Chains A and B, each alone.
Chain A
Amino acid sequence: MARYVVDVMPRREILDPQGKAVLGALPRLGFEGVVDVRQGKRFEIEVDGEATDDRLADVRRMAETLLANPVIESFTVTADEPPVSPEPAGDITADGDDA
């Protein structure tokens, strides 16, 4: 199993209303000094077989075709280690964790 991560971000010159909403909320919660927030999307894609250059190219095409709209978004694709065990919940309990 190979795993790839596609990170999609709104382009710098494009207004990001969702990021602006988060930016507006942070000072209300007492977090000071935050000057900007941009909100994007992260896709974790698992595919059969080994991570290869061809697979990476496939995932890149997925990003260009569907996951990102190049008119308003940029993206990066990286190969990632496959998950070996459920990730620890950390300090914050994750409600949606099905592990």
Chain B
Amino acid sequence: MRVGVVTFPGSLDDADAARAVRLAGGDAVALWHADADLRGVDAVVLPGGFSYGDYLRCGAISRFAPVMGEVVAAAGRGMPVLGICNGFQILCESRLLPGALIRNDHRTFICRDQRVRIENTRTPWTSTYAAGAEITVVIKNGEGGFVADAPTLERLEGEGRVVARYLDLNPNGSLHDVAGITNDRGNVVGLMPHPEHAVESLTGAGTDGLGFFAGLAALGAVPAR
């Protein structure tokens, strides 16, 4: 399984995401924001950090990066796409996922281990988890508050599209304690906490995050074009 990891100007976690892909048995392929080319990958990760200075709104300008045109088209064909943190913001700005992410309600940056519950195991990114699995990963964001209007939230809940939900303490004011969601097809997932920082016990909060990258190998390849 070839998994592309996009580097935007300001990405912080592209190297960790690529490492997580390799630890899970995949081949990590570096993708560049300015190239409208997915290099034949079978899945794409939009990593965390920042992008284009996050001027205007987080992800608002990255959404129009040349690579994103390809990502949006491939997502429409069913290619698995995972956006983590800034990547989640980009997916929402791209309208691949509903809702938006706004500044944390407590107005401070948060960085700590975070327990979340995996509530949807039908996506290619969560298929290795048991339904209802409670895992510990890392959260670090300043603008991670998930918001959507009431009908959208109702639809996400009713269709089981809340992929991950915060446990113990809501870290950022996200409505319904949403930590991650998926699109109606189930191939695009946005996640505010960072599974790629929890893939080796030496350097992270255990290895609970590895499951997000381990499920891809079982999938058939989706053509990039």
Contact = CB atoms under 8 A, between A and B. Distances in A.
Chain B binds chain A: yes
Interface of A: 10, 13-15, 17-18, 20-21, 66-67, 69, 71-72
Given A66-B56, A72-B147, A17 B105 contact: yes
A20 B60 contact: no
Contact of B105 (A13, A15, A66, A71): A15
B148 A18 contact: no
Contacts of A18: 103, 107
Interface in B104-140: 104-105, 107
B104 A71 contact: no
7 contacts: A17-B102, A17-B104, A17-B105, A18-B107, A21-B107, A66-B61, A71-B92
A73 to B, nearest CB: 8
Contacts, number: 38
A69 B103 contact: no
B107 A69 contact: no
Contact of A69 (B57, B105, B145): B57
Interface in B74-89: none
6 closest cross-chain pairs (CB), A and B: A17-B103, A71-B100, A72-B100, A17-B107, A21-B107, A69-B100
B149 interface: yes
B173 interface: yes
A15 B101 CA distance: 11
A74 to B, nearest CB: 13
A14 B153 CA distance: 14
A15 B100 contact: no
A69 B60 contact: yes
B97 to A, nearest CB: 10
Nearest to B148: A71
Given A15-B105, A69-B100, 6 more contacts: A15-B145, A17-B103, A20-B107, A71-B98, A71-B148, A72-B147
